[in-house]
A = this chain, B = another copy of it.
């Protein structure tokens, strides 16, 4: 199958990239600069794709930042640190991010006559992210099949799996975890203490896989 993958350069979407290629799919990667605080994740995405000789594109949506004011990811409010609970995490929600990314990926898929768009929405994405729910994915799948005479499917990748499951899958596929980037802060190494760092460390611990990530903080949340 010919697939456009939303690839952020993070752990989840990189495991999905390896998983799809392992299944014989022809994958093209799309990453989006929507005005993040830093480009560590985008740099990671680029080098992972280059190493695999996978076609990849970046689109700049930083002009959306004024519309998305109020989200930590776009620089308006402080990044929440551990403890990683629903209240602090809400500050990291970019309004309607997944629909925006999926709509652009679908445009590219239509113009390339790809069969599907994939994104790594798994069960570990907390309930505070409404656009990671299966019911949202189903609604988008329907809209994506109707938006053009060339229908595009949305692949329900990793639904029902946890982040620890993804570490297990990625480990078996030889994913270079050390090349992926999760930290909300854009320093030289992962901070080890922000919400996603805590989640990342915990996933490796639960999966029983050695974590090759270098963290600034030894503390575990």
Binding site for B on A (CB under 8 A): 57, 59-61, 63-64, 66-70, 94-100, 102-104, 106-108, 110-111, 130-131, 133, 135-136, 139-140, 142-144, 146-149
Q: Which secondary structure characterizes the binding site on chain A?
A: helix
Extra inter-chain contacts (13) besides given A96-B106, A99-B106, CB under 8 Å: A59-B63, A60-B63, A64-B104, A67-B104, A70-B111, A95-B110, A96-B103, A99-B99, A102-B103, A130-B149, A131-B146, A136-B143, A139-B143
| B67, B140, B142, B147: the one within 8 Å of A131 (CB) | B147
Select A96's contact among B70, B97, B110, beta carbons within 8 Å: B110
Contact of A100 among B60, B63, B103, B142 (CB under 8 A): B103
5 nearest A-B residue pairs (beta carbon): A139-B143, A96-B107, A95-B110, A60-B63, A99-B103
Q: Which residues on B sit within 8 Å (CB–CB) of A147? A: 96, 98-99, 130-131, 136
Separation of A111 and B94 alpha carbons in the complex (Å): 9
Bound CA span A146–B137, Å: 9
Q: How far is the CA of A151 from the CA of B120 in the complex (A)?
A: 23
Enumerate chain B residues within 8 angstroms of A104, measured Cβ to Cβ.
Answer: 64, 67, 96, 100
- Chain B residues, CB < 8 A from A139: 139, 142-143, 146
Q: Which residues of B lie under 8 Å from residue A70 when comparing CB positions?
A: 111
Closest B residue, CB atoms, query A70: B111
Closest beta carbon of chain B to A117's beta carbon, Å:
11
| CB closest residue in chain B, given A145 | B139
Contacts of A102 in B (CB 8 A): 103
- Whether B95 contacts A111 by the Cβ 8 Å rule is yes
Q: Can you identify 20 A-B contacts, CB atoms within 8 angstroms?
A: A59-B67, A61-B63, A64-B104, A67-B104, A94-B107, A95-B106, A95-B107, A95-B148, A96-B107, A96-B110, A99-B99, A99-B106, A99-B143, A99-B144, A99-B147, A100-B100, A100-B107, A131-B146, A139-B143, A140-B143
Contact B148 A133 (CB under 8 A): no
